[in-house]
Structures are given as structure tokens and as C-alpha cells.
Amino acid sequence: MTVITRFAPSPTGKIHIGNLRPAIINWMFAKSAGGQFMLRLDDTDQERSTEAYAEGIKTDLKWLGLNWDIEASQSKRFDKYDAVVERLKEEGRLYPCFETADELERKRKRQMARGMPPVYDRSALELSDKDRAILIAEGRTPHWRFKLEDKSVVWQDLVRGEQSIEASSLSDPILIREDGTYLYTLPSVIDDIEFKVSHVIRGEDHVANTGAQIQIFEALGAEPPQFAHHNLLVGKDGEGLSKRLGSLSIESFREDGFEAMAVVSHAATIGSSNPIVPHQSTDSIASEFGFEKLSRSPARFDVAELELLNAKLLHEMDFSLVEARLSELGVEGGEAFWNAVKGNIEKFQDVSFWWQVVEGPIEPVIEDAEFCSKAADLLPKGTYDEESWSAFTGAVKEATGAKGKALFHPLRLALTGQPHGPELKFLLPLIGEKRAAGRLRGEAT
């Protein structure tokens, strides 16, 4: 069997950290199994779906490195859905219902008041052709429900183990709205069949839907895919993220300067037994995937944890991965500069600050003008290397008697204008003799 998974966002908004998790889990499993990953745009809601959001989703996935092998848009497949609808109507599995939303709500309230489960009572099946004609003449337009068979639906969930749902505990699902538009369920099943999706991997909030969907697969004569329902994402406080998703979009992470691999590494490992560590490639992440590693407890997202992971990723990043990006920023210090400063940056754009410190001009901070002037006279001549700093500070210590913080702190302030930063044995060769001398004498160079 060829493994085919799918990520099926609706292009009615931006991808956020909450729906990135099913995307990365589907992608990881497909790649770890040597299979294919599908991007399916669930754009049947044509009033809210836009091409701009669809392109934004593709841009986000490409930025994250989650490239897809198959692509489809549901808005281009209505003829296929319409044909299946006619078949289900003819077989008596799809039936019209005329209750309004208010009438259905009143029914549910009455059932709950009597201690009964709020399951649709199938009263629409008792309508005669004459009853239906009268309702249509009154201006009523039906919605259409799928008639479930009264039996247990059992499947082996790859995360949750054996699952069983009594169909009698479920309402017959609405597949078509009054206005003729499709809800998610039927187009999804039809697409999964046609594109031979082998595994449906999604959040555990869809477990109850699976019972009904399996019956639709069976009604269409298809073998249901395997299902896996993973844990959901919550905030660090354990609360849902729904009110904060606008600020947690993948686009916002990109604009805020996060590394794509930091976002992917975090989304792939939270809520699992894998350690939350930075990965430099998506292949590395895929190789560590396993359904058995997913926790049953909610996955907690904390942007502060993502920030730490982002910094660690940069601290471990090889120069070859950033050479072109440094050039784009006008940073010309090469590998020596990158290795000198990468341990002191949290976002990649921070390199521009440290390049300004190296290249100048900066305003040096002079705590003791006499001490710094004497240090300037003791600077080595010519080209510097990593041993130059030790030779320089040794000479200053011998001449002034200063040591420890009294020696190093005023030199750092004068040479960089900063109280903390990269090791000066690496920065001094980049700053050079001329700029170092000027800064020690209080010049903005």
C-alpha cells in the first residue's frame, strides 16, 4: 500500500500554529513511510474562500519546507460530488429535511430537558410526498441528511487504539445545506476515495465524526482509510488558543523573524515524547516520527519556548546555511563573523546589529579615559587573529595592574559600546587595529 496523507485547510483565513500541527504530522508520517503528502484546498464555501488565502497557505507551507506531491481544490470538483449525491438519494441514504435551525434547536432543548440525548429524531422520514410538496410551496428549502445504519462502528485508531461508536448515539449528519452548498463531510470522503488517501490524520475533536464518515465510505463501496486522532493544541495556561490565533499565524511568525525550521521543529515535537530540540532539516524531523510517541494529553504551545528554540537553532547553524542570507543583509564578515556572533542572536536579523558593532561607526562608552587611552597605545600592530586579544589584555594588565572585570569591562564598552556580547577574541580581528584604537580614544568609528 502506498501511504498517502492529506492536509485539507479551508482558504478562508491564514494557517496558524493550531492547524500547522496536523499539517506537519501528516507530512512527517508520509515522508517517514516513503509515501505522498497531499494539499487539498477545501474551498466549497465559495463566499468565504479566496484565492489570496489559498496562495497564502501555499506560501506558508513552502516556507516551512512542507512540500506536497498532490494538489486539489474542491471548488473544481462539484460535478463529482453532485453525481454521488444523486446516487445516495436514489439509494435512500440521503433524505430531505425541512426543519429550520430554530426548530431543530427547540427539539434539542426538549430532548435534553427529558434527559434524552439530543439526537435527530428522523421525523423528516415520516413526511409524505404531499407533506414535502406543501412545505416547498410554503417556501421551505430542504437540507439533506445521510441516514446512518443502526450499528456499532469500530476502527483501530493509530493514536487512541480501538475505538467504537454506536451510530444510534449520533444524529444523521447534514451533508448539504438549505442553500445547496456542501458541508465538509461528503466532499472529504469522496476526495479521500478518489485520491486513494490511505491515512486520515487529524485532531481528536473529529473522533465522533469518524463514526459517520466510515459509514459514508461503506455506502460508497470503499474501504475506509486508517484513522489517527492526535492531541490538540492549547496555550501554556492550558486554555484554548482560539482567541489568539490571529497573532499566531505562520505568516506572523515569518514576519517576526522566526526561522522556518524552528517553527516546524516546535510544532513537530510538542505534545510528543520527542525532545523539543532544533532540527536543521525537515528530513531529520520526519525520521523521528512515530504515532506511539504522540501524547494523549493536550500539547501546550508557549511562544517563549519557540523563541528559545529559535535562538538555539541559530546558535547551532552552520555558515553554509546562512551565507547567502548574510550577503542579502549587506554583512560581509564571512564565516569568521558568523561564528563570532551567532551565539548572541535570537533572531537572524540581529546579525545586522553586531555587524554595525564591528563595522561602525559606533559611539564607544568610555568609563576611564586614561585607562582606555593607555590601552590604545598597547594595541598590537598589524593584522589580528584569535591570539591577539590575549596578548593585548596581557599587556594592559601588566601596564595598569587591572584584572578581572576591572580589566575586561571597560575594554568591551569602549570597543563595542555594549556591556555584553560575543567573545572579544573573535571580534577584535574583525574590528581591526585602526577602529579599535579610535574607539579606545573615544572616537565614533
CB-CB neighbours of 123 under 10 Å: 11
Neighbours of 3 (CB within 10 A): 17
| Axis crossing angle, helix 334-341 with helix 424-440, rounded to the nearest 10 | 100
Residue 1: pLDDT band (50, 70, 90) is: confident
Write down the pLDDT at residue 436.
98
State pLDDT tens for residues 298-322.
Answer: 999 999 999 999 999 999 999 999 9
Mean pLDDT of the region 402-427:
97
> Diameter of the chain by CA atoms?
109
Do the beta carbons of residue 175 and residue 183 sit within 8 Å? yes
Categorize the per-residue pLDDT at 237 as very low, low, confident or very high, splitting at 50, 70 and 90.
confident
pLDDT per position as a tens digit, 322-356:
999 999 999 999 999 999 999 999 999 999 999 99
Sequence-distant (≥ 6) Cβ neighbours of residue 177 within 8 angstroms: 143, 183
Digit-coded pLDDT (tens) for 116-127: 999 999 999 999
Look over the chain and give the mean of its residue pLDDT values, rounded to a whole number: 95
Domain parsing of the chain, residue ranges: 319-359, 369-440
Rounded mean pLDDT, 35-39: 98
For residue 227, CA distances in Å to 162, 206, 207, 256, 422 come to 11, 10, 9, 35, 50
Domain 369-440 has CATH 3.40.50.12780: no
Cell of 122: 428522523
What does the alpha-carbon distance between residue 26 and residue 241 come to, in Å, rounded to a whole number?
Answer: 21
CA gap 156, 168 in Å, rounded: 20
